[in-house]
Structure 1
C-alpha cells in the first residue's frame, strides 16, 4: 500500500487538490479551535485548512511523498502542522487527546476498519467529535473515486456500529458532486457522519 500511495503522490500536482474536504470545512465552522487529528492525511489539505483556522493540527499517513507535500503546503500557506509518516495500526496517541478527529475518505478492509474507528474513539476528549465523509456501497462502479471492493465501502449501519457509544448527529448516505483535485471528480455516492463523545 505504501508504494501505491507514494507513486500516486510523487507528482507535483496535488491529487486531491489543496482545498479541504468541504463537509469537514462546513462542520468545523463555529467550533472553538482545539486539537484536531487527521488520519490518512495524504497531501495535507485538511490539516493545513484546520491550522489556518487556528487548530493545532496533527495527522499521519504511510506515504513519505504525502508527508513531503503536506509540509510544503503548510509552509506555502504559512502554518504549522504536526505530521507523522506512519501506518494507521502503528501510530498511537494518548487517550483523550483530540477535540476532533477528521476522517476524509479513509477506507480500510472491514476487519481493520472497525478496530481503527474504535481506536479513534479512545483518542477523543470528552465532548470531542468524529467528522467523517467516505464513499458508501453505491459508489462501486462510479468513476469519481474510491475503493473497488464493496466491502471497503461504508454503510450507515456499519458506521453506527463502529462508533457505538457516541451520540450520532449526522449519518446520511447521499449522492453529491465531488470536485477535489484530479481523483475525486463527478457524482459520488457518499456517507456523511458526525458524532460526539
Structure 2
C-alpha cells in the first residue's frame, strides 16, 4: 500500500488546476504555521452523525482536520485541495492519527473525478470559482452517488457582501443557492437553513457566527 506521503508527492507532481489558485493558497498557508483550527467543522460533525460511513469526497480539505475525522469514523476518504502546502500538512496529520486518506492535488473541476463515486460529498466553506458554465456546481453534483448526499456549508451572508478592497468579490465564487438552482427531480433537499455556527477557537474564519447549511440527497 502506498503511504500518504508518497501518494501526495505523486499527486503534487501532477497538479491539475489553475496555477494562480495554487500559488495564492500556498502563499496563504506559508504565511502561518497553522491556518485553521485543527478540529473538524461543527456542521459536518452534526450532519454526518446519522450517516453510515461510505466513500466521501472532502472538497477543499485544507490542513485535513475534516478528512482525518471522517477517516477515524470509518469513512473511505478522498480529500482534494489546490494547495500542496496544505496537503503536506494534512498528510502529516493523517499519519499521526494512523489513518489512510487519498490526497488529490487539483481543482475540483480539473480533477475530473469519476461520476457517481461518493456517498458523501462535503464542501465546507469552499472557495470554488464561479464560471459561466457552472462547472464547479455541476462537478459537486456529478460526484454524488445514487442515494448519496451533498453537504455544502458556507458562512451565512457572505454571498451578499460587496467586493472588498482586499480583492475578495462574492460574485467570483460559487454559493449554495447556485448549486440548489441546478437540482433536478433526482434530488431531495433535506436541509437548507441558517444556524448558529459551532465555531472552533482560533484559526482563520473563527469570527463568523452563522452557517448556511445545505444538504441534498440524490435519489437512488
Report the TM-score, using the length of structure 2 for normalisation: 0.77
Q: Out of 200, 205, 208, which is 1:179 matched to? A: 200
Residues paired across the two proteins, number: 193
Q: Residues 107 and 39 from structure 1, CA distance in 2 versus in 1: closer, same or farther, beyond 3 angstroms?
A: same
Question: Which consecutive segments of 4 or more residues in structure 1 shift more than 4 A?
Answer: 138-141, 152-156
The separation in 2 between residues aligned to 1:153 and 1:3, in whole angstroms, is 18
- The answer for the alignment partner of 1:144 in structure 2 is none
TM-score (norm 1): 0.85
Which protein is bigger by CA-based radius of gyration?
Answer: 2
Cα offset, 1:7, TM superposition: 1.6
Which of 165, 168, 184 is 2:189 aligned to? 168
User: How far does residue 177 in structure 1 lie from its aligned partner after superposition?
Assistant: 5.7
2:212 corresponds to: 191
In the alignment, which of 44, 48, 53 is matched to residue 24 of structure 1? 44
For residues 167 and 41 of structure 1, the distance between their equivalents in structure 2, rounded to whole angstroms, comes to: 25
2:16 matched residue in structure 1:
none
Matched residue SS, 1:111: coil
Query: In the alignment, which of 124, 137, 154 is matched to residue 134 of structure 1?
Result: 154
> Counterpart of 1:109?
129
User: 5+ residue gaps in structure 1?
Assistant: 142-146
Alignment of 1:8-157 (within 5 A): 8-10=28-30, 13-111=33-131, 114-138=134-158, 148-152=168-172, 157=177
Provide the aligned C-alpha RMSD in A: 2.6
Distance in 2 (alpha carbons) for counterparts of 1:135 and 1:39: 16
Q: What is the alpha-carbon distance in structure 1 between the residues aligned to residue 44 and residue 127 of structure 2?
A: 16
- 2-structure distance, mates of 1:29, 1:108: 26
CA contact (8 A) 1:35 1:97 kept: yes
